[in-house]
Structures are given as C-alpha cells and as structure tokens.
C-alpha cells in the first residue's frame, strides 16, 4: 500500500518536472522564434531604442530623425553653411543595414541579451528632391553675388623698395557643380557635415608660386644684382640696383627684358658727365694767369655704342662688376684734371712754348705760329701729340719743306724745327710772316721735344685776344676759335631780313 502511494507521488513529481521543463522549453524556443524576427529587448541602433521591434518598426524608428536632418557645409575658410532636410524633402531609404543587424542576432542567446545591452550603427541613406537640393545649394550665402570675392592673380609690381609680388587673392567664388555634387553625396550618405576644398573653387590662374612669377622675379633679381661700379679716378659713379630697375621692362606674360632706350639714355648721361673731349677748361698759364680754353680733340670719350653693349652684357650676367667705362679715347692723365702735369703749353699771343714733365719745366722757347693775316692762324684748343716723325717732309699746295723733327697735334698742324727762320722766333712775326699753321721752333728745342715728349702728351694752345680762324685745318682740328664763314654769312643774311 505504501509502495503504491510512493510510486504515485513519484509519478506526480516526475510529471510536474517534465511539465515544467516542457513549459520552459516552450517559452525558450518561443522567445527564440520571436527574436528571429525582432530585436533583443535592450538593443539600440544609432542611439534609437528598437528592442522588441520587428524590422519594419525598427527601420521606421531609425528614420525618425530624418525630418530634423541638417547638413553643415564648411568652406575652405572654415565658415559654416547649412542645408536643412526639410528644405529638400529628405526621406530615409533603408539600405538593408538594419536588416543585416537583425539577421546577425543569435535568437537562442536572447536570455544573455537581457543582461548584455547591444547597440549598432547603420548609415542613414536618404532620398531627396533633385530640384529642391539644387535650389538649396544655390541659396547658400556663399553663392550670393554680394558675398562673393572674385579671385585675382598674383602680380609683380614696382614699389618704392623695388619689385615685389602681390600675392594672389583666392577669392570665394565656388564652382556650383562641384559643391552640388558634394552636397548630394553627403545627403545621400546621411552625413552631418561636408568640407569643401580648393578644387571646389574658381582659383586664380597665377599664384605667387607659379613659374611665370618666380622665373620673372628671379630674372629681375639677377638684373638688380648686377650693380656696376665704374672705376673713374676722382669720381664715384655706381649703377645701383635702384637705377637698374628703370631699365627693366615687364612685358606680356611677365616676360622680362631690358629697355634699350633707357640704357642708351644712361650711357648718354654717363658720356655727358665724364667726356672731357673739347671741354672748355680753366688753365693756369706759365705767365701765372688763368685762361678759358676749349675745342681741340683731347680728353675722355666714352664709346657710347660699346658701353651700351657692355652694360647690357653685364646686366645679363647678373653679377656685380667693377670696371672702367668703355672708352674710344683716353687722355694722357687720369682724374678730374686730365691734362695732368706733363704737357706742352703754347701761348700764341706771346709766341712762346713751354714743356713740363711731372710739373717741372724742361724747356721753353719763342716760336713762330700760323700767319693770321693769311687765314693760316694756328688752331687753338687742347690737343695731343698724335705721332712723331724724323725726318719729315711737309707738303702743301704751294710749298714743300724738309724738317728734322715733326710732332703733329692738330690734324696736319704740328711742332717742327724751322732752319729757314735763321734763329728769328717770337714777337709779331706770325702776324705777317707766320707759318702755314705749324709751330716753328729752333732746332735745339725741337730736338729736346722730340726726344722727351711722348705720343699722347697734351698740347694746350691759346690766344689771349679774340681771333677768327677760318682756315680748313683749323676747322678740321676742331679749333676753339674756328668760325664758319658760311654760317656767319647766313647769320648776317637773317639779320638783314628782320
């Protein structure tokens, strides 16, 4: 009896346990089946609670924020511009990402999920109205004409301190098509912000780094570096970078060249300043007084074509240079006093000649010069000994004279011995019985001069009273007192008609 009761109770216990197990199994498998199509209770997607939701409900929940969608557009200066979702009729378009999260769940782990919250992130893909998004982009502040700064190219300019590069102005004008494409891409991906880059702008064609600018500045700098120091005794002449700037020509496309006309002007000024050829000079005579004498062919002459070519070559080389100007003629002495202290002085009025070497008188003598009464007056001016010849034959239209020493200084006029004078020199002989223009000197003096005077030695010849030299040799030698008879006649004719 007792055994039967015991067996009955056991069957009840076993049955109850089996029932409980079956119930739990039914619940477990039932929930597993449920979570095969629903998210675990403590699940979030993109921060939204989707626990217990099926796929459709979860996708709707994830898309709830689209109506508040805001895209921030950052321009290249960091300024913000906005596109609002409501302005472009944004709508969430499921792309299967939420479904993949659901499919990735393991339903039979639903119990563990109760204690372990799960979260996931999915891209928010959206749709929009094509026409509205184009209008929205066009309506951004940065596309309003009043807010647009046009891009400007870099430029080379000349300022007080020289040439410099005015940097380009990037401007703010954007390429609408580029910006629209980036905004569309960002909206479609549900991005909250997008940044614009240089490729989205209308940029200057020429920047300060462009080869056309850097090459031009390099060439300009090369020219300016070519400062030229002219080696001229007693003078300080320098072609500085400031002056060189005036020679530089910026052409189309920033081609850099030299203004030849400006170089020629500079060389002309250089020649005008330092040429002493035929200058009027103040000369202290052996008699102690000072006379003004010009004309002749003595002195510095800057070779203008040669100097211009050399100057251009120096500038092209781009290196500092110290040199003399290019001369076509040099005097016997250098410096401001280019006559120096070695020279021959001839006072036609006093009919006297002196020769000095290094400031010391070597010899002096009375002479006979050109016959004034026959228009053969000797040319006055500052000349130089052109050459020396011994012996020599002097020929004219109606004469031929043999001399031992001949030292011409003004065309065919020179110093020579004159044995036919029989020792008679000086006084007023020249006024009526003078030479054809040459300087007649005693043989012993001509000998000394020939032996000691060097070619190029200055000859200063002058009258103390007004004279009018009209002989052809006076004209050719650039005599100071030469008068062109035809020119004088023209002046008289003009005066007569007034």
pLDDT tens track of the chain, all 498 residues? 667 777 777 777 776 776 777 777 777 887 878 877 788 788 887 777 877 788 777 677 766 767 788 999 999 999 999 999 888 888 887 888 788 877 778 778 788 778 888 878 877 777 888 889 999 999 999 999 999 999 999 999 999 999 999 999 999 999 999 999 999 999 888 888 999 999 999 999 999 999 999 999 999 999 999 999 999 999 999 999 999 999 999 999 999 999 999 999 999 999 999 999 999 999 999 999 999 999 999 999 999 999 999 999 999 999 999 999 999 999 999 999 999 999 999 999 999 999 999 999 999 999 999 999 999 999 999 999 999 999 999 987 778 899 999 999 999 999 999 999 999 999 999 999 999 999 999 999 999 999 999 999 999 999 999 999 998 889 999 999 999 887 655 544 444 444
For 43, phi then psi, to 5°, come to: -105, 140
pTM above 0.85, yes or no: no
Domain-located, residue 387: yes
Domain boundary among 206, 224, 240: 206
Kindly state whether residues 317 and 426 are assigned to the same domain: no
- Dihedral of the alpha carbons of 185, 189, 192, 196, in degrees to the nearest 10: -20
Domain boundary among 178, 206, 234: 206
Token output for 18? 């089996």
Rounded Cα gap, residues 9 and 418, in angstroms = 179
Kindly state whether residues 255 and 371 are assigned to the same domain: no
Kindly state whether residues 357 and 455 are assigned to the same domain: yes
Domain tally, the chain:
3
* Contacts of 149 by beta carbon, 8 Å cutoff, 6+ apart: 169, 171, 172, 173
3-state helix, strand, coil in the chain (%, to 5): 40, 25, 35
Domain boundaries, position 228: 211-277+292-329
Domain-located, residue 172: yes
Kindly state whether residues 78 and 198 are assigned to the same domain: yes
Write out 178-236 in H/E/C secondary structure: HHHHHHHHHHHHCCCEEECCHHHECCCCCCCCCHHHHHHHHHHHHHHHCCEEECCCCCC
Q: Which helix (H) or strand (E) holds 486?
A: helix 485-497
Rounded Cα gap, residues 263 and 28, in angstroms = 104
* Cross-strand bridge partners of residue 258: 248
* Cross-strand bridge partners of residue 469: 482
Kindly state whether residues 300 and 357 are assigned to the same domain: no
Kindly state whether residues 428 and 486 are assigned to the same domain: yes
Strands (E), 358-411: 360-366, 381-384, 392-395, 400-403, 406-410
């Amino acid at each position: 009896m007792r055994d039967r009761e015991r067996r009955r109770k056991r069957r009840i216990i076993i049955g109850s346990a089996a029932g409980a197990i079956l119930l739990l199994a039914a619940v477990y498998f039932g929930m597993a089946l449920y979570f095969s199509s629903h998210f675990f209770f403590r699940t979030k997607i993109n921060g939204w609670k989707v626990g217990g939701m099926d796929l459709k409900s979860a996708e709707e929940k994830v898309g709830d924020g689209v109506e508040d969608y805001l895209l921030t557009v950052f321009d290249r200066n960091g300024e913000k511009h906005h596109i609002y979702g409501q302005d472009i009729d944004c709508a969430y378009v499921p792309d299967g990402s939420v479904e993949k999260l659901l499919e990735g769940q393991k339903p039979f782990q639903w119990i563990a999920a109760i204690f372990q919250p799960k979260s996931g992130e999915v891209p928010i893909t959206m749709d929009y109205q094509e026409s509205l998004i184009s209008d929205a982009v066009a309506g951004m502040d940065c596309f309003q004409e009043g807010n647009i700064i046009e891009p400007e190219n870099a430029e080379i300019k000349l300022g007080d301190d020289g040439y410099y590069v005015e940097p380009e102005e990037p401007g703010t004008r954007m390429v609408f098509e580029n910006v629209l494409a980036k905004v569309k891409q960002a909206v479609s991906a549900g991005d909250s912000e997008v940044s614009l880059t240089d490729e989205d702008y209308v940029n200057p064609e020429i920047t300060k780094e462009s080869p056309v600018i850097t090459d031009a500045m390099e060439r300009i700098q090369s020219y300016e570096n070519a400062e030229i120091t002219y080696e001229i005794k007693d003078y300080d002449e320098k072609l500085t970078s400031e002056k060189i700037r005036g020679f530089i020509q910026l052409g189309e496309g920033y081609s850099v060249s030299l203004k030849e006309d400006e170089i020629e002007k500079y060389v002309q000024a250089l020649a005008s300043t330092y040429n002493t050829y035929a200058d009027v000079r103040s000369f202290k005579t052996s008699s102690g007084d000072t006379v003004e004498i010009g004309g002749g062919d003595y002195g510095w002459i800057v070779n203008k074509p040669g100097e211009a070519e050399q100057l251009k070559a120096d500038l092209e080389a781009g290196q500092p240079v110290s040199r003399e100007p290019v001369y076509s003629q040099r005097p016997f002495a250098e410096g401001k006093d280019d006559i120096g202290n070695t020279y021959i002085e001839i006072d036609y009025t006093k009919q006297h000649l002196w020769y000095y070497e290094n400031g010391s008188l070597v010899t002096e003598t009375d002479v006979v010069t050109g016959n004034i009464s026959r228009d053969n007056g000797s040319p006055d001016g500052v000349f130089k000994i052109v050459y020396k010849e011994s012996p020599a034959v002097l020929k004219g239209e109606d004469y031929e004279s043999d001399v031992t020493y001949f030292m011409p200084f003004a065309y065919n006029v020179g110093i020579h011995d004159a044995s036919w004078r029989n020792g008679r020199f000086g006084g007023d002989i020249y006024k009526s019985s003078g030479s054809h223009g040459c300087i007649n000197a005693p043989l012993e003096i001509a000998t000394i001069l020939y032996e000691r005077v060097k070619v190029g030695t200055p000859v200063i010849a002058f009258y103390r009273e007004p004279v009018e030299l009209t002989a052809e040799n006076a004209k050719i030698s650039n005599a100071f007192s030469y008068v062109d008879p035809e020119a004088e006649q023209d002046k008289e004719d003009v005066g007569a008609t007034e």
